[in-house]
Amino acid sequence: MERSGPPQAQDKGKGKPPWRSEGLPGTPGGKPKINWWRFVVTLLVVYAAFFVVSSFVDNESVETISYTEFTKQVNAKNVKEIYAQGLSVEGDLRSAANNPESGESYDKFATEIPAFANTDQLDQQLANGQVEITSQPITRGFFSNLLLSLLPVLLLAGLWIWIMRRGASMMGGGGLGGLGKSKAAKPVEAGQVRVTFDDVAGIDEVENELVEIVDYLKDPGKYRRLGAKLPKGVLLAGPPGTGKTLLARAVAGEAKVPYFSASASEFIEMIVGVGASRVRDLFEEARKVAPSIVFIDEIDAIGRARGGAGGVGGHDEREQTLNQILTEMDGFSGAEGVIVIGATNRPEILDPALLRPGRFDRTVQVGLPDAAGRTAILVVHTRGVPLDAEVGLDQLAKTTPGMTGADLANLVNEAALLAAKRGKEKVTMADFTDALEKLQLGAARSIVMPEEERTRTAYHEAGHALLGMLQPGADPVRKISIIPRGRALGVTLSTPDTDRYAYDEQYLRGRITGALGGMAAEQVIFGVITTGAENDLEQVTMIARGMVGRWGMSEKVGPLTILSNDGQPPQASPATLATVDEEARRIVDECYDRAVRILTDNRDKLEAIVAALLEHETLDEADAYAAAGLPRSVAADETPEFPASANGQAIPGGEPAGFPKN
């Protein structure tokens, strides 16, 4: 659908906010604010305290004694070692002694040698007393105390800075004093390339809805003169991968305004109040550079409808965060010049207060692209891919109904990977075909099947394919294969020539009949039913129950919605539910009888397809119709009786893909 722009400039350091930003003016930012004066004063005070304490502790254990007491301990051979610097002596005793002057016991001492003392005699006494004279001081000096007292202060300062940055990262910035406070967003580099509408394709109708906002942001005066106000919010609703996020970035890029983006789940924390604080910070930053755009992805994570029993913990946090968003969008604070764009694939569960005018003023549906849209998307994603001349993007788009822009981007990438792996200079149509099979049907498995199992699989797939070929209005069969892929032992791929948007009863019956083709073929040929039809029956049951319980296609039940589409328990009596089951069984039985009858009447064509499959293992569209002896447009101009196909979906070994919902 669209080609992603370059990576957003983000703060790789610690303490980044829970949102990304684009197009901010080059204002300083990116680091938590620190009061450096307070930090330096605190550092000096702590250092002085450590120095005084360490000096006190070091000196209080050293006893100052007289020279007479010192010579007495030397003569008693109680002095273990000494260190002398000039006439100052420090040392250790072998065993503690009492100081006659102070009466205190000591084992470390300091003394001064008188200038008139006989040093030669003292030296002899020290030698006789086996006193060790060392070259290092026994106790630390001033500078040693200075260094050792400074070390814990440095450790404390490093710990403080780490906690501040850690707190900014885990709780939104601001350190310990600002729980939940987020720092200013980091400016984007000047050369940052912005995403524009040129990078968006396939959803022109949605793009037109947003052009008005771009025009308002570029020239607000034109609208203000007429009393028009800037929309507060736009909700983009649609399936995943349809380009909601890139659309929001394109709006900001076209209008050349700052852009902030965040996932709703990033605001939620276990600590109640952190999410609301982050929301306040986000809107505060957006208002500073208004006009600006705030994009909140998966907004249903915090915008779910409130009500029910009161909750604690994460539930309280979610509601507080939602309340803060409601206030910021249209409350006392106001958010002039800030447009909020939200994205969700579940708009039905959002709180009504979030969807009222003044908050999300409009809801834009971002749906799946049609064939022309898929062609435009493929053009965007193949800009940098060398394509072979035989590659037709129009034809490729027709074989990919139901794919989103993200799916198509993945398809192009897979095809390029296959071409590179095969040593090609350009990507060919065969690479795209193989990549599409890999994505839709699964990677091929290298397993050796017994010949009996291989033959049974061929009949199963031929039954699917032949019913698709013979039923009027059916989707063309594109490929049949008995090569195991994913969980399936074989695959049959049918896709329509044009997109379908509504399905009538005859078409749905045809879907059921086609899905039962594999099971019916096994019954006709072998007289048994195997487990290969398990997923066929799951799909058949889902369609039949939907016809009766959701779409009013049963006269006995009538136009009622009995079965919910969101997994909720059915709101009906047991008798009504029993009637739904009976009607669903009747529809399936009728379709199965029809499938058996068609295959029995055309057994020769079934055998021909099986023979070709056993020989080649894979048949493309032309080979499949040639093997059956049928023209490609056998039912093109006939009025459909029970049109059957998989509507662009695969029927891999009895595994029809999910049926699109109305």
| Best CA proximity match to 256, nearest among 230, 217, 224 | 217
- The domain segmentation of the chain, as residue ranges, is 21-29+185-365, 63-138, 371-441, 451-651
Whole-number pLDDT of residue 453 = 85
Alpha-carbon distance of 93 to 77, in angstroms, equals 9
Give the model confidence (pLDDT) of 459-512 as tens digits. Answer: 999 998 998 888 876 678 888 888 887 777 888 887 777 777 778 888 888 888
* CATH class held by domain 371-441: mainly alpha
Q: What is the mean pLDDT of the chain?
A: 76
Query: How far from 138 is each of 64, 82, 129, CA to CA, in Å?
Result: 14, 7, 19
Give helix 603-616 / helix 574-601 axis angle, nearest 10°: 80
Which tokens sit at 13?
């350091």
Whole-number pLDDT of residue 372 = 86
Higher-confidence position of 525 and 188: 525
Query: How far from 119 is each of 24, 109, 236, 618, 627, CA to CA, in Å?
Result: 80, 19, 97, 110, 122
Alpha-carbon distance of 219 to 341, in angstroms, equals 19
User: Which residues carry out catalysis?
Assistant: 461
Higher-confidence position of 541 and 292: 541
**Secondary structure of residue 31 in the 3-state scheme:** coil
Alpha-carbon distance of 216 to 195, in angstroms, equals 18
Q: What is the DSSP string of 606-619?
A: HHHHHHHHHHHSEE
When pLDDT is averaged across residues 14-31 and rounded to a whole number, the result is 50
Label residue 7 by pLDDT band (50, 70, 90). Answer: very low
Give the model confidence (pLDDT) of 617-644 as tens digits. Answer: 888 888 888 888 888 654 433 323 333 3
Which residues are CB-contacts of 378 (< 8 A; sequence separation ≥ 6)? 393, 396, 397, 408, 412
Higher-confidence position of 281 and 588: 588
Q: Which of 128-137, 142-151, 256-265, 415-424 has the highest mean pLDDT?
A: 415-424
Give the model confidence (pLDDT) of 216-275 as tens digits. Answer: 888 878 888 888 877 788 898 888 888 888 888 788 778 788 878 888 777 776 556 677
Which tokens sit at 29?
């930012």
**Which one-letter amino acid corresponds to residue 205?**
E
Which tokens sit at 115?
């200038």
Which tokens sit at 632?
């490609």
Whether the pLDDT of residue 394 is over 80: the answer is yes
Kindly tell me the sign of the dihedral angle through the C-alpha atoms of 406, 650, 654, 545. positive
CB 618 within 8 A of CB 483: yes
CATH architecture of 21-29+185-365: 3-Layer(aba) Sandwich (3.40)
CATH fold, domain 451-651, is Methane Monooxygenase Hydroxylase; Chain G, domain 1 (1.20.58)
Which tokens sit at 662?
């109305």
Whole-number pLDDT of residue 386 = 92
Tallying the residues shown for the chain, one arrives at: 662
Whether the pLDDT of residue 647 is over 80: the answer is no
HSE of 47, CA atoms in CB hemisphere, 13 A: 15
Whether the pLDDT of residue 167 is over 60: the answer is no
Query: How far from 96 is each of 92, 109, 491, CA to CA, in Å?
Result: 9, 10, 95
Q: Most distant CA pair in the chain: distance in Å?
A: 136
Whether the pLDDT of residue 283 is over 70: the answer is yes
Label residue 427 by pLDDT band (50, 70, 90). Answer: very high
Query: How far from 522 is each of 458, 464, 645, CA to CA, in Å?
Result: 10, 11, 19
Which tokens sit at 421?
């792996």
Alpha-carbon distance of 646 to 468, in angstroms, equals 9
Burial profile 547-580: b = 16 or more Cβ within 10 angstroms, e = fewer: bbbbbebbeebeeeebbeeeeeeeebeeeeeebb
**Which one-letter amino acid corresponds to residue 548?**
V
Whole-number pLDDT of residue 17 = 59
Alpha-carbon distance of 376 to 358, in angstroms, equals 35
CB 10 within 8 A of CB 261: no
Whole-number pLDDT of residue 349 = 85
CA angle (651 as vertex; 648, 656 as ends), nearest 5: 85
Give helix 451-470 / helix 505-515 axis angle, nearest 10°: 160
CB 359 within 8 A of CB 326: yes
Higher-confidence position of 294 and 148: 294
Whole-number pLDDT of residue 588 = 93
Which tokens sit at 82?
């000494």
| Best CA proximity match to 247, nearest among 293, 209, 197 | 197
Kindly tell me the sign of the dihedral angle through the C-alpha atoms of 520, 524, 525, 530. positive
Task: Kindly give the residue spans of alpha helices, DSSP state H, lying in 76-179.
Answer: 119-128, 142-171
What number does CATH give the domain 63-138? Answer: 3.30.720.210
Whole-number pLDDT of residue 419 = 93
Whether the pLDDT of residue 424 is over 60: the answer is yes
Alpha-carbon distance of 317 to 278, in angstroms, equals 12
Whether the pLDDT of residue 173 is over 60: the answer is no
When pLDDT is averaged across residues 190-203 and rounded to a whole number, the result is 67
CB atoms within 10 A of CB 144: 13
Give helix 405-421 / helix 429-441 axis angle, nearest 10°: 120
Alpha-carbon distance of 623 to 312, in angstroms, equals 64
When pLDDT is averaged across residues 44-62 and rounded to a whole number, the result is 65
Whole-number pLDDT of residue 547 = 92
| Best CA proximity match to 609, nearest among 633, 632, 625, 597 | 625
Kindly tell me the sign of the dihedral angle through the C-alpha atoms of 644, 650, 655, 659. negative
CB 528 within 8 A of CB 568: no
pTM: 0.62
Higher-confidence position of 614 and 306: 614
CB 472 within 8 A of CB 639: yes
Which residues are CB-contacts of 61 (< 8 A; sequence separation ≥ 6)? 108
When pLDDT is averaged across residues 368-382 and rounded to a whole number, the result is 88
Whole-number pLDDT of residue 413 = 93
Sheet containing strand 477-481, strands side by side = 618-620, 477-481, 491-494, 650-651
Alpha-carbon distance of 373 to 397, in angstroms, equals 8
**The tokens 């379908």 sit on which residue?**
500
Whole-number pLDDT of residue 586 = 94
Give the model confidence (pLDDT) of 531-580 as tens digits. Answer: 888 888 998 999 999 999 989 898 888 888 888 776 677 878 888 899 99
| Best CA proximity match to 453, nearest among 616, 614, 609, 612 | 614
CB atoms within 10 A of CB 38: 9
HEC string for 302-355: HHECCCCCCCCCHHHHHHHHHHHHHHHHHCCCCCCCEEEEEEECCHHHECHHHH
**Which one-letter amino acid corresponds to residue 520?**
A
Alpha-carbon distance of 18 to 266, in angstroms, equals 6
CB 475 within 8 A of CB 492: no
CB 383 within 8 A of CB 2: no
Label residue 29 by pLDDT band (50, 70, 90). Answer: very low
Alpha-carbon distance of 404 to 374, in angstroms, equals 8
